[in-house]
Structure 1
Amino acid sequence: MLLQQQHIESNRREYGLQYDLLTFANPEQLIAANSERKELLRWLGLHAAFGYADTKVNCSGLSPGCRCCGDGSWSCLFINGHCNGQCFYCPTSQDDHDGPPVTNGLAFASPEEYAAYVAALGFSGVSISGGEPLLTPGLTIDYLTAVRKRCGDSVHLWMYTNGTMLTADLCNRLRDAGLNEIRFDLGAVRYNLKKLRLAVGCIPTVTVEIPAVPEDEALLRLKMVEMAEAGVNHLNLHQMRLTPYNFAPLTERGYTFIHGEKVTLLESELCALRSVRFGLEQGIALPVNYCSFPYKRRFQHAAARRRAALTVCAGAEAVTEAGYLRTLTETGVRYSEAVLLQNPSYRHPFEKITLETGRSLYLERRPRTPELELTVAERSDLEAGCPSGRLVRFERI
């Protein structure tokens, strides 16, 4: 109950006066939704593989890119910040980035520098996102080519697109640049598969990745059959969430919101779970994966922390599952976080990393706790891999 109240207070701070415009689920709605959700999860538990602390549903047929993400070995490069789509559910601004491509707050104006970064940190997967990457096709292809040239076949390359700018010639150029997988947001084109069909047989893996839009559920069921017949390899459904950028269109549609670490849509998760079940019940030859917001929040954030921590970990330190650096002392334990930066803040200890291109990056160690005194029992439990309650958030995902 305390955690729920913390979430409510955090969400209220994020939206300020607009918070009172949101319609949250009432007790009766929550009881009904939880009952349906419980039954869906019970059925899916018998017929589908769950993974990642049960935050992903139907994991037996994940795309290669999704497996890289789950392993925590994925870098996503935002090639531009402009999009020609008008998706009401888009959670981010699409008109405010005119600078160089960025990933995790690091800008890379040179394709070769980004490729060197990928190699230095040992990523096994790289995706190109936006904006819309095909608004700048030459730039997108330059970065794909550089990573493939530097890393060879050790890296799986994929790209997100709404497909509106795709042509047969561009498909061939993307393939020749080393693209392994292409992901279409068909919601941007009302689920029209015309441009997607250009990629089938050209790009090795064709995936559809869309939010689970509640009012489109019946249409989605029809399109799942069409996707399978068209040669789509994977369908990823995301849970819709509220952000300051999509606040107006989402509230205008009368959705029911629920509290968590962020505000999400009650109807979206139920739509996604029903769609996964439908695909399995009907025997549709299309793996459907539900990627929940808790998965994104917990596993993707932990992966970013862990990647930096492994680079700087030394001596008696250990990197926890949650991606923090753990330092045991004679009397207790303390946790810190490694953060990769373009320039040091000079507020915390840091180490310089020099890429093979000569570019310098900085790993800064930021304390996340003071030294926490441990009882004999707590130390014993921690060393046995069973951290006490107050340590769990730093130890477990």
Structure 2
Amino acid sequence: MHRKMEETIGGSIVIGELAKGCKLCMKGAKMVLFITGLCTANCFYCPLSKERKNRDVIFADEVKVNDIREALREAEYIEAEGTGITGGDPLIVFTRTIKAIKILKEHFGSSHHIHLYTNAMLLTIEKALKLKEVGLDEIRIHPTREEDWRKIKIAKQAGLKVGIEIPVIPGTFNSLKRKLKLAEKLKVDFININELEFTPSNAMNLKIRGFKLKRTSLTAVEGSEEEALKVLNWALSNTNLNIHYCPSRLKDSVQLKNRLRRRALKVAKKYEKITDEGLLVKGIIEYEGNLIKLANEIKEKLGVMNDLIEININKRRIEVSPEIALMLNSIKLPRKAKVFLIKEYPTEDRFEVFRIPLN
């Protein structure tokens, strides 16, 4: 059978079949359930922030939650077709992880696709069978020690669909070839090789090992993609594996953008415009005086409908559509009222990324 490299809709490269979890991720249709920051490994390239690393906290996408049921709201906001459970290592909080899978499957139905990332240090046949029983669709193992490779046999024995996740560290071509040969021998269902990334938390560890930032990227490590392409070319004629190369740019330019758009479509108010990147654009009037009185004056003078203007009590401002914000120069506003056009994320905290003063 003729094998070839193909570019995905997200700009990544696949040989063979792309895992379903990856397909949904590219669509922005997967909620990321960060179930704990606790981990048994200590990888020098770990990208986790200080807010999460080695801390027993839970996040649903960017939202910190207290329990799994709180995460359902975030999944509904993005109309999630699946969930990726990650950490840390979810197996450290095994009872919580099992509960999460059960709740997600009960709430969204058995077709809600769930994959889980683990280093498998804590994986036993009992745990693997339990994961299979509650409906885990994919287990993605990142073996950090030689002895962890035998855990793949355990996962396969339990009937789980097994993938392997490997960061592409420049200069490790021979090691990567050996891992791919071993993966094929163990009959894994797919392999993801991931471009190595700089983050604020791992930057020092990468720098002291001589790694540099790729000139065309804000996060990618120089040489990682070249090494990955070398591995793909070798795998093409030397293995029958389903193998996927996931570049760092896919996460922001495709996966995050699509997920933000899905959330924006769900949470945007009538006066907020959605950009191609999934951000929300609107006008704001910041004023220390009487906001109710000012809002009523704007409505009266410009004939603004109630659903195109709102008082944000928490942020002490009036919010309007971009069009209305541009019209405010035609009326007399209080001297201390400041008008801006802003862009913000459609996330829980509505993080602002851009503002232009209009007066």
TM range (shorter): 0.7 to 0.9
The equivalent position to 1:130 in structure 2, one of 54, 77, 87, is 87
What's the secondary structure of 2:116's corresponding residue? strand
Distance 1:295 1:365, change over 3 A: closer
Amino acid paired to 1:81:
G
Rounded to whole Å, the distance in 2 between the matches of 1:74 and 1:346 is 34
Matched with 1:50 is 7
Partner of 1:312: 267
- Deviation of 1:194 (Å): 0.6
TM-score, with structure 1 as normaliser: 0.67
Partner residue, 1:274:
230
How large is the RMSD of aligned CA atoms in angstroms? 3.1
Does residue 303 in structure 1 map to residue 271 in structure 2?
no
Q: Does 1:183 align with 2:101?
A: no
Distance, in Å, in 2 between the alignment partners of 1:365 and 1:93 is 18
> Is 1:289 matched with 2:244?
yes
Instruction: State the distance in 2 between where 1:160 and 1:367 align.
Output: 31
Partner of 1:200: 156
Q: Go from structure 1 to structure 2 and tell me whether the alpha carbon gap of 1:346 and 1:161 turns closer, same or farther (over 3 Å shift).
A: farther
Secondary structure at 1:87 match in 2 = coil
Distance 1:231 1:306, change over 3 A: same
Report SS of the residue matched to 2:191. strand
Q: Please name the residue that 2:286 is paired with.
A: none
Summarize the alignment of residues 1-397 of structure 1 with structure 2, pairs less than 5 Å apart: 47-52=4-9, 54=11, 56-58=12-14, 61-93=17-49, 96=53, 98=55, 100-119=57-76, 121-186=78-143, 188-190=144-146, 192-282=148-238, 284-313=239-268, 319-325=274-280, 345=315, 349=319, 364=350, 368=354
Q: What secondary structure is seen at the aligned counterpart in 1 of 2:254?
A: helix
Counterpart contact for 1:348–1:364, Cα < 8 Å: no
For this pair of structures, how many residues does the alignment match? 299
For residues 37 and 318 of structure 2, the distance between their equivalents in structure 1, rounded to whole angstroms, comes to: 31
Moved more, 260-269 or 145-154: 260-269
C-alpha distance 226-367 of structure 1, shift in aligned 2 (>3 A): closer
SS in 2 for 1:215: coil
Task: Please give the alpha-carbon distance, in whole angstroms, between the structure 2 residues aligned to 1:253 and 1:218.
Answer: 19
Give how far 1:120 is off.
5.0
- Give the Cα–Cα distance (whole angstroms) in 2 for the partners of residues 73 and 162 of structure 1: 24
> In the aligned structure 2, how far is the partner of 1:205 from the partner of 1:80?
23
Identity of aligned residues (%): 26
Structure 1 residues not aligned, in runs of 5+:
1-45, 328-342, 351-360, 373-397
C-alpha contact 2:219 2:248 (8 A) present in aligned 1:
no
Amino acid at match of 2:224: S
- Deviation string 1:167-200 (CA, Å, 9 cap, x unpaired) is 00000111122211000112x2248411111111
Greater helix share, 1 or 2? Answer: 1
- Stretches (4+) displaced over 6 A: 314-318
Offset from partner CA, 1:199-227 (integer Å, 9 cap, x none): 11424421111111223321221221221
Per the alignment, in what secondary structure is the counterpart of residue 79 of structure 1? strand
After superposition, what is the alpha-carbon deviation per residue over 1:80-128, rounded to whole angstroms, capped at 9, x for unaligned?
Answer: 1111102121122477564541123322223233235424542011011
* Separation in structure 2 between the aligned mates of residue 133 and residue 218 of structure 1, nearest angstrom: 30
- Cα pair distance change 1:191/1:318, threshold 3 Å: farther
Structure 1 residue 300: deviation in Å?
2.4
Larger Rg: 2
